Structure 1
């Protein structure tokens, strides 16, 4: 006998919700009348799941409000289940805020990241390549040039232009060194 009353109450709750009453005081009055009639007839409170459905029906405007700022704009705000889950998903733990300042910077003591084996290998490989190029260039720059012999008899006692140009260049370098 109790099961048929519970099923009848579930149907009655569905009917009230289907009426889609716009005025909240009217909704509250209809729900109050239904629950009081159930308690008088059966002598016990209705099922908690049905009471939750009725409470959600009373608060449908607040629960359906998608405004993300309602927690700051309303005096007594509350969230629906999906809004609460969304808020919980967006929050971060206190561990993230331990070292963060109000300026948004991380104020932990900076630590140097250790390079991976690949990074060390790559740095060494690149350095060896650069060192080889530098070594080759140094060898070219410091190696003696070909030995050129001049005979003043062949030129009639005149120095060749290569010799005199090198001498004037050496004089310029000498003056620059003396100034600096």
Structure 2
């Protein structure tokens, strides 16, 4: 068994011990990493060091309180909490258009009509055009010619 595999198993065993006191956890992690460095002369694998760091910060990472920032000075966020935080943040681009009143003050842009809407408008316009054309023809048609004789 290689040193890396043995260290991986030792990390797993240490995490399974589930030590509740933080100072005891720190001492156990330091002892484990120092023993590995003394025996191999190399630093442990980064993935194992990350597992140990997560184990040391167990209380902070398992705290599901959504507003950690107001409760602690330097909060630690899990990946899920960071994702949730990033989703709530507004982009700098939004600051150009969104006012302090929360309204969007961007210049309006017309939307394109759908094919159905365009056909509907055109159909009604043609009907109105026919009505207008008929009325115009009636209004401009010559009237009956009347002849008047004036007796003098």
Query: Which category of TM-score, normalised to the shorter sequence, fits these structures?
Result: 0.7 to 0.9
Alpha-carbon displacement from aligned partner over 1:122-145 (angstroms, at most 9, x marks no partner): 23545677999xxxxxxxxxxxxx
The one of 82, 85, 98 equivalent to 2:80 is 82
Residue 99 of structure 2 corresponds to which residue in structure 1?
A: 101
Query: Contact (CA 8 Å) 1:56, 1:63: kept in 2 or not?
Result: yes
Distance 1:6 1:118 in 2: 67
Q: How many residues align?
A: 134
Structure 1 stretches lacking a partner, 5+ long: 133-180
For 2:11 and 2:108, how far apart are their aligned partners in 1? 62
Distance 2:112 2:80 in 1: 43
After superposition, the C-alpha distances for 1:106-125 in whole angstroms (9 at most, x for unaligned) are 11233444534422332354
For 1:65 and 1:128, locate their aligned partners in 2 and report how far apart those are by CA, in whole Å.
Answer: 67
Q: Residue in 2 aligned with 1:139?
A: none
User: Greater helix share, 1 or 2?
Assistant: 1
Alpha-carbon distance in 1 for matches of 2:111, 2:56 = 57
* Structure 2: 5+ residue stretches without partners: 131-152
1:63–1:80 contact (8 Å) kept in structure 2: yes
Q: Give the C-alpha shift of residue 18 in structure 1.
A: 0.8
Q: Distance in 1 between matches of 2:111 and 2:2?
A: 70
Aligned twin of 1:68: 66
Q: CA deviation at 1:51?
A: 0.8
Distance 1:104 1:94 in 2: 15
Q: Distance in 1 between matches of 2:80 and 2:55?
A: 16
Assess if the C-alpha contact under 8 Å between 1:71 and 1:78 holds in 2: no
8 A contact 1:63–1:79 mirrored in 2: yes
Instruction: Tell me, in whole angstroms, the C-alpha distance in 1 between the residues paired with 2:115 and 2:14.
Output: 70
Partners of 1:108 and 1:88 in 2: how far apart?
24
TM-score (norm: length of structure 1): 0.62
Distance in 1 (CA, whole Å) between partners of 2:22 and 2:89 is 33
The separation in 1 between residues aligned to 2:114 and 2:97, in whole angstroms, is 26
Q: C-alpha displacement at 1:90, in angstroms?
A: 3.9
Q: Normalising by structure 2, what TM-score?
A: 0.73
